[in-house]
């Protein structure tokens, strides 16, 4: 399955997760920072995964702009999954659910529950076991 992972990252944690997920999905997966995305990157893909850190209870500005750049039903026929990185605090927001809703509204098919990964502080690093969870999540997606 030809896949594309688009991510934003402030301190490298979301990037590390995107690369880990991409490697697990296989050779037919391209991983791109959101600022490097071009519309032609969508050509021929079956799966789009979007990852973002939470900023102000939402996806990052760049991720939101990326999602808002699509026209209605432009993503019809594309399967999607989303993830975010967050600190483990009581009030943290939910960027991944917001991204899934936006993608669904663009015609994409959300194939798994939105996922989140914990960072141990504002700049990270990822909490113990999160890369393993990312690999397991990627394998769950592959099996769909």
Residues near 113 by beta carbon (within 8 Å), at least 6 away in sequence: none
Residue 43, phi then psi, degrees to nearest 5: -60, 125
Domain boundaries, the chain: 3-142
Q: How far apart are CA 17 and CA 23, in angstroms?
A: 10
- Rounded to two decimals, what is the model's pTM? 0.96
Q: Which helix (H) or strand (E) holds 67?
A: helix 61-68
pLDDT at 91 (0 to 100) = 62
Q: State the CB neighbour count (10 A cutoff) for residue 39.
A: 9
What architecture (CATH level 2) is domain 3-142? 3-Layer(aba) Sandwich (3.40)
Q: Which residue has the tokens 């789009």?
A: 48
Task: Provide the 8-state DSSP code for 39.
Answer: G
Reading the block at residue 108, the tokens are 């994409």
pLDDT tens for each residue of the chain, 144 residues long: 899 999 999 999 999 999 999 999 999 999 999 999 999 999 999 999 999 999 878 999 999 999 999 998 999 999 999 999 998 876 666 899 999 999 999 999 999 999 999 999 889 999 999 999 999 999 999 988
């Amino acid at each position: 399955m030809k896949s594309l992972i688009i991510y934003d990252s402030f301190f490298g944690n979301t990037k590390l997760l995107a690369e880990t997920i991409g490697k697990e999905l296989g050779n037919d997966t391209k991983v791109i920072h959101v600022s490097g995305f071009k519309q032609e990157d969508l050509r021929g893909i079956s799966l789009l995964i979007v990852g973002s850190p939470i900023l102000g209870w939402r996806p990052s500005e760049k991720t939101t702009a990326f999602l808002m750049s699509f026209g209605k039903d432009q993503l019809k026929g594309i399967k999607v999954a989303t993830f975010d990185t967050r600190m483990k605090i009581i009030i943290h927001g939910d960027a991944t659910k917001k991204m899934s809703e936006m993608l669904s509204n663009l015609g994409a098919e959300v194939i798994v529950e939105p996922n989140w990964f914990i960072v141990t502080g504002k700049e990270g690093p990822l909490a113990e076991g999160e890369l393993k969870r990312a690999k397991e999540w990627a394998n769950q997606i592959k099996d769909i």
